Structure 1
Amino acid sequence: MDHESLVQSRRSTRGFRDEVVPRELMVEIVGLASRAPSSMNTQPWNFHVVSGSPLERIRGGNTERMLAGEAVDREITVASHGYQGVHRERQIEIAVQLFEAMGIERHDAERRQDWVMRGFRQFDAPVSVVVTVDADLADDTIAHFDCGAATYGLVLAATSKGLGCVINGQGIMQSSVVRDHASIPDDEVIMTCVAMGWPDHDFVANDVVSRRVADNVSFVGFEG
């Protein structure tokens, strides 16, 4: 697949087949993602590829804590006020698209709750790749940027191999659970995770395509 086709075909997959992803395939995908550029070749990221019973324990722990109303337990700093303005509008827009595709009505509290819980379960994907940054660079914004590049590389590599995936911040809402069951070393900080597996083509939300912003690019110094 050429690069343009790969980028255009990528989707956030939220429904997966109950089918094992071979370790050998994940080795290939992580190897490709590791070719991402980084500032002065620092390569500050780490990938922890989790499947099987450890992933099930992570799902269970995340769900149990969130249903119990426990506070969010992430290791990264996020805006205390949440998304605002145009960013909030875009967040709502994709949520509306997904709910409409799934036939979830505004008043259907049970199905809306179930959708949220799917995120904490990492969408029941057979694989989760936990992305971390070396702890001595935890407050380095450049290192965060590099981790983002590597995560996008991971998503594109998976797509090129026929897998579906979604970058899933909900999956690390209870980072201490993830750290415990994924055996994350103490000298690493959990940034995000990517749910990954063979896409379920009958899961209608997988066909949702988010609108891309068209007015956030400027050109300076070009003629015409």
Structure 2
Amino acid sequence: MEFDDVILGRRSVRGYLVKPVPRALIEEVLALAMRAPSSMNTQPWHFHVVTGVPLDRIRSGNTERIQAGEPDAREFRRGEPFAGVHRERQVGVARQLFAAMGIAREDAAGRQDWVLRGFRQFDAPVCVIITYDRELSGSDDTAFDCGAVTTLLVNAAWSRGLGCVINSQGIMQSPVVREHACIPDDQVIMKAVAMGWPDENFPANAVVSERRSVAEAARFVGFED
């Protein structure tokens, strides 16, 4: 695929075929992703690629704990809830997804089921857990670098026919993830990426989130008119 086709065509995939992803293909995608820039070449990232029984145990552990009212146990900083225009954008894409799935505003059960899909990594056949070295916890560059490699990961996957969605719900119960993905204590769990073959019949997969224009997002200083 051409670079522009990957960037403009990629979308977040929340419904997957029941079809395994070859390990060799995932390794190919990771090799591309790891060409992402990092601060002074620190390369702080680690990838824990989980499938099969361990992933099923993470899914069940996540959903059981959240349904039991266990508090959020994310390890990476969460920050304050979105407000203002950022909250508006969050609500906007949620409306797009609910409309595509036919989930009405008053459908509490349907909305709850949608939320739980996130804790199940959207039932994808593969989950990639991104972690970083704990000794770098105080570095803002580390979070930036892990974001860069994750962005390149989902784009590289798309270029190979795989779909992904970057997912925070999948690591909110970090003790469950750490146990079943066998993540060492000297690493901080940052993010999850669900990965697999897109189900083209899953309505939410057709949703393309809205983006601001360059004119809205960018200022050009020192250029001639």
TM-score range, shorter chain: over 0.9
CA distance in 1, matches of 2:53, 2:190: 22
Residue in structure 1 matched with residue 40 of structure 2 by the alignment: 40
Aligned partner letter, 1:163: L
CA distance in 2, matches of 1:218, 1:6: 26
Count of aligned positions: 223
* Counterpart check, 1:78 vs 2:78: yes
Residue in structure 2 matched with residue 115 of structure 1 by the alignment: 114
* Counterpart check, 1:58 vs 2:58: yes
Residue in structure 2 matched with residue 199 of structure 1 by the alignment: 198
Secondary structure in structure 2 of the residue aligned to 1:4: helix
- 1:16-36 deviation per Cα after TM superposition (whole angstroms, max 9, x unaligned): 000000111111111111111
Deviation at 1:216, TM superposition (A): 1.7
Q: Where does the alignment leave 5 or more consecutive residues of structure 1 unmatched?
A: none
Output the TM-score relative to the length of structure 2. Answer: 0.98
* Counterpart check, 1:182 vs 2:177: no
Identity over aligned residues, as a percent? 61
Residue in structure 1 matched with residue 157 of structure 2 by the alignment: 158
- 1:12-70 deviation per Cα after TM superposition (whole angstroms, max 9, x unaligned): 00000000001111111111111111011000011111101000000000000001111
Residue in structure 2 matched with residue 88 of structure 1 by the alignment: 87
Residue in structure 2 matched with residue 67 of structure 1 by the alignment: 67
CA distance in 1, matches of 2:126, 2:212: 30
- 1:92-141 deviation per Cα after TM superposition (whole angstroms, max 9, x unaligned): 00000000000000111111100000000000000000000110111211
Q: Where does the alignment leave 5 or more consecutive residues of structure 2 unmatched?
A: none
CA distance in 1, matches of 2:163, 2:131: 21
CA distance in 2, matches of 1:127, 1:189: 20
Residue in structure 2 matched with residue 25 of structure 1 by the alignment: 25
Matches within 5 A, 1:91-110: 91-110=90-109
Residue in structure 2 matched with residue 223 of structure 1 by the alignment: 224
Secondary structure in structure 2 of the residue aligned to 1:196: strand
Secondary structure in structure 1 of the residue aligned to 2:93: helix
Aligned partner letter, 1:20: P
CA distance in 1, matches of 2:27, 2:207: 29
Q: CA RMSD in A?
A: 0.7
CA distance in 2, matches of 1:218, 1:48: 39
CA distance in 2, matches of 1:70, 1:170: 13
Output the TM-score relative to the length of structure 1. Answer: 0.98
CA distance in 1, matches of 2:184, 2:160: 29
